[in-house]
Amino acid sequence: MPRSLLATAFAVTLSLLFLHVSSAQAVPVTYNVVLTPQLGTAAGVGSFTIDGLTGVGNETFTVGGAKNLLAISFTIDGRTFDFDDTWAPSVSITFKLGLLDDIVYIGGKGPLNAPIALLIGNNSYIYSETYGDYGLGKFTASPVNDPAPGETPLPGALPLFVSGLGALGFFAHRRKRKQVA
């Protein structure tokens, strides 16, 4: 088989492999959060969506930041809190090595804009509100639409490479057969 054909086939295979790898970069990830009180009555659920999680080092997500916090919402004791209730820039989410480390959410709710605070970290949460609700307990957070970086190997890269080599071998065999005939 001529070297130019082999080089072209190899370049096409590597290009397809590169395109496949680059398409698997970070995409927005949504996490569900469950708050289970151990002291007080403030139980709740929530979710947040982030964009740009790499799983390397400390990564802090804020609204409009380089690491973007796209959405956040919590329902605690029947009250729902989201971006509209925050006292900007008082909402951030931090990951360490791809694992959720803390959530800071400070804002106001109701006609008096009564202060609320939700602090999550070290496997626990603290929630307090001016109206008297409070909670102290455990939380769980799990990704909904995409596992954390590094947890799942890149799908399909090796099969794509092997398929390219197989196609290269098939065409080389076919060309050799034509030359003999």
User: Vertex 164, ends 159 and 166: CA angle to 5°?
Assistant: 90
CB–CB of 130/107 below 8 Å? Answer: no
Query: At residue 167, what are phi and psi to the nearest 5 degrees?
Result: -65, -40
Please give the DSSP secondary-structure letter assigned to residue 63.
T
Structure confidence at residue 50 (pLDDT): 92
User: Residue 49 pLDDT more than 50?
Assistant: yes
Residue 15: inside a domain: no
Structure confidence at residue 30 (pLDDT): 92
Helix (H, G, I), strand (E, B) or coil at 171: helix
Beta bridge partners of 81: 74
User: Residue 41 pLDDT more than 90?
Assistant: no
Residue 177: inside a domain: no
Query: At residue 154, what are phi and psi to the nearest 5 degrees?
Result: -60, 120
Higher pLDDT, residue 24 or 161: 161
Residue 51, domain extent: 29-143
Structure confidence at residue 34 (pLDDT): 92
Query: At residue 180, what are phi and psi to the nearest 5 degrees?
Result: -70, -35
Structure confidence at residue 152 (pLDDT): 45
What average pLDDT does this structure show over 143-166? 57
Amino acid at the residue 123 = N
Residue 165: inside a domain: no
Q: Quote the pTM value.
A: 0.63
The CA distance from 155 to 101, in Å, is 27
Residue 113: inside a domain: yes
Counted domains in the chain: 1
| Signed CA dihedral, 95, 96, 98, 101: sign only | negative
Query: Strands 86-96 and 79-82: what pairing?
Result: unpaired
User: Residue 13 pLDDT more than 60?
Assistant: no
Mind giving me the DSSP string for 43-57? Answer: -EEEEEEEE----SS
Residue 172: inside a domain: no
Close Cβ partners of 49 (under 8 Å, ≥ 6 residues apart): 28, 29, 30, 31, 69, 70, 71, 72
Residue 105: inside a domain: yes
Residue 167: inside a domain: no
CA count, 13 A, side-chain hemisphere, 52: 16
Structure confidence at residue 99 (pLDDT): 87
User: Residue 153 pLDDT more than 50?
Assistant: no
Residue 86: inside a domain: yes
